[in-house]
Chains A and B, each alone.
Chain A
Amino acid sequence: MTEAILLMLGIGATCGLILAVASKVFYVYEDPRIAKIEGLLAGANCGGCGFAGCSAAAQAVVEGIAPPSVCIVAGSEAAAQVGAVMGIESSTAEPLRSYNNCDGGNRAADRYFYSGISGCRAASALYGGRRECKIGCLGFGDCVKSCLFDAIKVGDNGYPVVDEDKCVGCGACYSACPKNIIEIKTVSQRLLHLNDELDALAPCRQRCPAQIDIPRYISQIKKHDFEGAVRTIRERNPLLLSCGRVCPHPCEDDCRRGVADDEPVSINQLKRFAADYEMNSGSRVPVRCAPATGKKVAVIGGGPAGLSCAFFLRRVGHDVTIFEAMPKLGGMIRYGIPEYRLPKKVLEWEIDGILNLGIKAFTHVKLGTDITVESLKSSGFDAIFLGIGAWKDYGLGIEGDNLKGCYTGIDFLTKFSVNQQGDSKLTVPIGTKCAVVGGGNTAIDCVRTLVRLGVKDVYIVYRRTRKEMPANMVEIEAAEHEGIKFIFLAAPNRVLGDDNGQVKGLEYLKMELGEPDASGRRRPVPVEGSETVIEIDMLITAIGQGPDISFKDKEEGKRISELKTTRWDTIDSVDPITLQSNIPYIFSAGDAATGASLVVEAIGGGRRAARSIDLFLKGEPVVAAESTLFGKKKISESIFKTVPGVKKTKRTPLPELPVKERIKSFVEADLVISEKDAIFESGRCLSCCRLCYNQDQ
């Protein structure tokens, strides 16, 4: 017995002694801070930081390889404490979040049936993972199983839903998914992502110039998640109230329901419904911004392009200042779009929401007069965005077009609007018989404004036919209802004046349509000896507009005078996707870059420019991936000729004020659809993705 005790003690003592000696002999110096920092990290060993476990991460921090904010799980407070241990200030990086980009619609049950397999990896290995389309979700939830933080579950629709509050962005789901459905991105990366050929995009999403995730917000409306819908729209479009009212919705032209010989989903009405819901709810859906980057950007022009660019730059953490020449922000959507289409009160609310993010704005500041590119550069702005719009009307260039009573479209609308908003006493004398030359939206806005001002006879003089009019069809129809007289196939020849130099008539030549021109529209050819005169006392020319680039000449000899412009006076970009000009720190979008175009085009351009500016400020090359979807480029496999399984249903009609009522005032003419209608209309959406869609039962 004694021997046994002695032996055990002996062995114990020997082992202890050897280990003690060994720990001295084989001692490896370890910075005491490593242990301290390891205590502050989450201890989840999730590997999200990119190091092999928490102790490796702690070691990396001490060695200065990793920043104090290395741990994505522990959060910003722990990062500050780690920073304190290291004696350095921690700048918290924007957190990474997981994001699912495949929307299973409600066809999950049909799509995700494989006899017995229960893992995405296995399904992917066996079948190449192709069920509907080669990039879509397989729905077995490998991502759910991989998540250490219980942040992903498979939602009602059968595709993964990420709980953003629980997600720490460790990337486990990303590596578990064999199909790249789950993306790990910061909010900024997501906001600035451009549509790509490899994305799971429905046809409407490919068409929308602002690249809004249309199926997602429609499905959110369907689920009564109106705030979610607002948030989805705002990831791509900060001017949802305005767009919901004035957008000519090119997306609806590509709606798959429309292809099926049915009426397309009323996408824009749904957008307006969600936007109005937010405004009428009395509180704004919170918008998150990334931590400040300390970079300053000047946005010149507070129109849709400028506001969109400023919004996205602010959201990714840059310091943005807007300079606007007019008395208020909004640009063309404030001064060019009349009150009855977009009430100023609504616009005001929308712009306030954008400025509330911490964007500074100065009005009455004109580029070239009050500020110059040079002065902005020297006052510390790192990049400059030119969203100066297209405010210079083209003239008719015919005899007598400068007589008293002759105006140009934008000039007229702006003067009238400034006066209406009480920013100036200048009024435009209105006649009794007015003619507006042109067939675009500006012309329609002019005539509909004139009708509301009580002008008896309002004519539209257009040199082609109704079919060729570039204005939105809804607008043309509304103008017809309001009693506008259309004179088609008429080219103004000469403006006649009386002895006082006042307009008294417009002589035009009748035209006939000839061969199609470059734009595909048939070119009008004048008919000899067909001169006709209409009696008028006011003439508005609205035949198009271009940017006013006189600021360039005011800085003679400076760098800005080298800015490349096209022969239409628009600012020339190196690449129409990145919108960077030939001077690297100058970017442009909107009408200033494209010539007069859609609001939604300007918003999309503003976001693309914001992306390029962000890349430029980070010192990365300002380029777009080759597979970027832009312009007319489409994912060809997603564009169908026929869509089986779709039953015809009537779309929700657009509610509007009766004609008699609306032509008396500037009260908004188009109304918002009811919640019931919105739910019905959202139910018409086929929840399309790249290839799949919900069939009508």
Chain B
Amino acid sequence: MGDYIELIIACIFVNNILLAQFLGNCPFLGTSKKMETAVGMSMAVIFVLVLAGVFTWCINDWILVPYGLEYLKTISFILVIASLVQFVEMFLKKSIPALYAGLGIFLPLITTNCAVMGVCLINIKSEYNFTMTLISSFAYAAGFGLALILFAGVRERILLARVPKPLQDTSIGLVTAGIIALAFYTFKGMV
């Protein structure tokens, strides 16, 4: 049990996918201007990442490893994740229209997201078992959500600040991201 808690803390804070590993910066800057969008994006990432993590673990463990084809994992994961997202989109549209209405516009954004891909590859590299994969996928996604929502809040406040012209918008966004990352750096060594 202690391992799992440690894993969760490691994934959310210490190895935060956005602020420690710098993966998925595109939606980090793109969907963080408004709190509303940030929350929607976080939910969609959690949803997709858990599914993708589990799926890619299965592919890896049941197909790639038995045939010694680990070197194909990147390309096959891309294929699988893309199809998965498409599938999920269709499934939601038909079966859970309410959820589709909420997450719909974000799903295509995640199809080729490096954060999703990155987490799947990290799971394999760290040689997690199925439960660990499930937990780490969820925790990384939660970390992504946490960072995104924190960042969106900060950016909304930045609007009120006197930002010099050359630093406006994305520039100040990146500077802020750096400072938040620095704050997250203090978690290093916790686990």
Contacts and interface: CB of A to CB of B under 8 A. Distances in A.
Contacts of A116: 162-164
A191 to B, nearest CB: 37
Nearest to A6: B67
A15 B165 CA distance: 49
Contacts, number: 60
Given A4-B69, A7-B63, A28 B94 contact: yes
A501 interface: no
Contacts of B83: 15-16, 18-19
Given A7-B63, A7-B72, A122 B161 contact: yes
Interface residues of B: mostly helix, strand, loop or mixed? helix
Contacts of A27: 94
B72 A18 contact: no
A117 interface: yes
A116 B164 CA distance: 6
B58 interface: no
B76 interface: yes
A8 B163 contact: no
Interface string B79-113: 11001001100110111000000000000000000
B175 interface: no
A27 B94 CA distance: 7
Nearest to B71: A4
B79 A118 contact: no
Given A116-B164, A122-B161, A126-B160, A8 B75 contact: yes
Interface residues of A: mostly helix, strand, loop or mixed? helix
A26 B80 contact: no
A354 B111 CA distance: 62
B160 A7 contact: no
B73 to A, nearest CB: 11
A117 B68 CA distance: 60
B21 interface: no
A22 B90 CA distance: 7
Contact of A19 (B86, B93, B164): B86
A611 B165 CA distance: 47
B159 interface: yes
A566 interface: no
A19 B91 CA distance: 10
Nearest to B164: A116
Given A8-B72, A11-B76, A19-B87, A115 B162 contact: yes
A466 interface: no
A132 B38 CA distance: 36
A117 to B, nearest CB: 5
Interface of A: 3-4, 7-8, 11-12, 15-16, 18-19, 22-23, 25-28, 114-119, 121-122, 125-126
19 contacts: A7-B63, A7-B72, A7-B76, A8-B79, A11-B59, A11-B76, A15-B83, A16-B83, A22-B87, A22-B91, A25-B94, A26-B90, A26-B91, A114-B162, A115-B162, A116-B162, A118-B165, A122-B160, A125-B159
The 10 closest A-B pairs by CB, nearest first: A116-B162, A15-B83, A26-B94, A26-B90, A122-B160, A22-B90, A122-B159, A125-B160, A22-B87, A117-B162
